[in-house]
Structure 1
């Protein structure tokens, strides 16, 4: 009998990408949920109309599953109820959260998950997600890692719809803490522009401080002095527009849900035009510096994909596949970099024809491209 997978928010762009990835790489009975539409079966999936606010129906759906994949963002507005039900029903859990406060609250349930024998893996998409595994890969190449620098660029909407737009503007609401020079320091969102050389088609692109869960999970997972996470969009004029909102608009406006909705819809309408020439892809660049054989060394790896929502689904689908195959089990609540071995990560990326371009290292650590 096939394992039963419940994908919350599975009718959204990222959730549906997870579902498609699993149909190609795992044997599972997949149920996707959404607030709209009727309950029934169509093609490869079973559809279930479900509002996460209906706690009784939610718990019943979880109890009938072997694995729950939480894709119902934006996670700024979510509580920990889904994980709580998974722990109570002893059902494994994955989420694609990209929000710091949500991730903090979820990680606090680690001991409860351990006691229930539940493996819960958080931040499983592209960034966070694949980005975390690129960092682990880099840290393992060095004898001693000192600085982690993660950079992301997304073309237009990224193909992920309004949710990504909301997440971007919600991320501008307040300053956040980052791990710099061995201590926690506060930075402003969308500040300190830096030009990064990404692979084609992006090339040199501006990136800015952006609040992501990796800001703190990587600092807690690895003994490094600095963790930098910066984000940018293409075309570049979107960066300047976002910067102006972050720095010129009154903070009270950005705290207003109606303003966030207005900005999200206007931006999405703009990207419907610019996506035609900017594309909807993503590039992630991980740069880890430190020492190898007692000498300064660095390791850089990049991943590029032409559809951000698709590769986010791949990042989550790989973890779901490994959990369904009982190849990834570690009771507790953990970010990707603490639970997914590099060898398995590289195997899963290879199976899906995702190229990881590596460079740096030496003397005698080799690699260098």
Structure 2
């Protein structure tokens, strides 16, 4: 059997991944994290014995040795936030001869994972970062529709959450760049934007409806211009189910912009707690969109709009799709590249969304 260790396996995304992989006859699942009691509790929920729970610290200098002792074939790293992390876990996986998958959303973290390519290739393992909605699903969507364009010039994409707030680690990562400058390609030039500012309204198809969105710093902003060299503009925006909640974050980002606050990281915990209290009062629906514009093969302007919509608070499962799909492929022995790379070009849209089968998640093709 293919042994998969999910680091942070009882967390917001890790728990969903474990639930999806549990019961796969090709997989021996290990649920890992610093709090062994929580790992055992999830084992109880899934009907697994406590031998599937592992007390393990991602920051342990002896992590590679632990992975080897556990005979781990693949590590799925969900213990964020990844902004500011180094590649210690990925390096430990490589040293132990294990594949490595993470759900990172940090721009530099994902974009620079290729720095480990030589070591990963020499060990014959797959090391991939950003196995999540961005860039795994977003790039799969663009790859699907790019052949319709003679010249793809603009990509605008975004995500609006439902009532179920993301985990504290995710919110901490989000708030780390609120109000702070980052660059993105606009009209052929790299220009500055600021995290969670640039307030806009976007209308998703029914039943999601109108949402407020703000500019976000994500790996796609640097990866897409490399992958699609004719692009002149790339942007990504995100928003919350509660418009009031979004405006609070926008106001805090303005405070950072004008020097009234150093950072919004300290806001993450109280706002996360408030968001959990407000869940019953907020829409349980969310979605993701990808807009592509350019010139078709007939020489005429071409614009395509793709959506995926989630209800019943199933939106938080969407970021887990890539890790689930890749884990299943590795366990089956499917052909996958070896080396280190961002999670781009490894999955089709069908493979990604197929990992979410049975959930209230619906694609609206372009």
Task: Tell me if TM exceeds 0.5.
Answer: yes
Residue 171 of structure 1 aligns with which residue? 177
C-alpha separation between the residues in 2 aligned to 1:274 and 1:116? 48
- How many angstroms does 1:321 deviate by? 1.2
Residue 197 of structure 2 aligns with which residue? 191
Whether 2:269 is the aligned partner of 1:270: answer: no
Q: 2:289 pairs with 267, 280, 285, which one?
A: 285
1:74 touches 1:166 (CA, 8 Å); kept in 2? yes
C-alpha separation between the residues in 2 aligned to 1:343 and 1:266? 38
C-alpha spacing 1:101/1:62, structure 2 compared with 1 (3 Å) = farther
Query: How many corresponding residue pairs?
Result: 353
1:87 touches 1:113 (CA, 8 Å); kept in 2? yes
C-alpha spacing 1:308/1:354, structure 2 compared with 1 (3 Å) = closer
2:134 touches 2:219 (CA, 8 Å); kept in 1? no
SS of residue in 2 equivalent to 1:78: coil
- How many angstroms does 1:293 deviate by? 2.0
1:21 touches 1:313 (CA, 8 Å); kept in 2? no
- How many angstroms does 1:79 deviate by? 1.3
The gaps in structure 1 that reach 5 residues or longer are 360-369
- How many angstroms does 1:346 deviate by? 6.0
Residue 236 of structure 1 aligns with which residue? 243
Relative to the length of structure 2, the TM-score reads 0.87
- How many angstroms does 1:164 deviate by? 2.5
Residue 156 of structure 2 aligns with which residue? 149
Deviations, residues 77-97 of structure 1 (Å, cap 9, x unaligned) = 421011112222221111000
Residue 362 of structure 1 aligns with which residue? none
C-alpha spacing 1:277/1:134, structure 2 compared with 1 (3 Å) = farther
Measured on the aligned residues, the alpha-carbon RMSD in Å equals 2.5
- How many angstroms does 1:157 deviate by? 4.3
C-alpha separation between the residues in 2 aligned to 1:140 and 1:342? 15
Relative to the length of structure 1, the TM-score reads 0.87
SS of residue in 1 equivalent to 2:317: helix
Residue 139 of structure 2 aligns with which residue? 132
Whether 2:55 is the aligned partner of 1:56: answer: no
C-alpha separation between the residues in 1 aligned to 2:25 and 2:175? 35
2:32 touches 2:56 (CA, 8 Å); kept in 1? yes
Within 5 Å, give how 1:1-369 maps onto structure 2: 2-23=1-22, 27-38=26-37, 42=44, 43-44=47-48, 46-61=52-67, 64-158=71-165, 160-172=166-178, 174-223=180-229, 224-249=231-256, 251=259, 253-255=261-263, 260-261=265-266, 263-294=267-298, 295-305=300-310, 306-342=313-349, 344-345=351-352, 348=355, 354-359=361-366
2:137 touches 2:349 (CA, 8 Å); kept in 1? no
C-alpha separation between the residues in 1 aligned to 2:316 and 2:188? 34
Deviations, residues 76-123 of structure 1 (Å, cap 9, x unaligned) = 242101111222222111100011122234232123322322212211
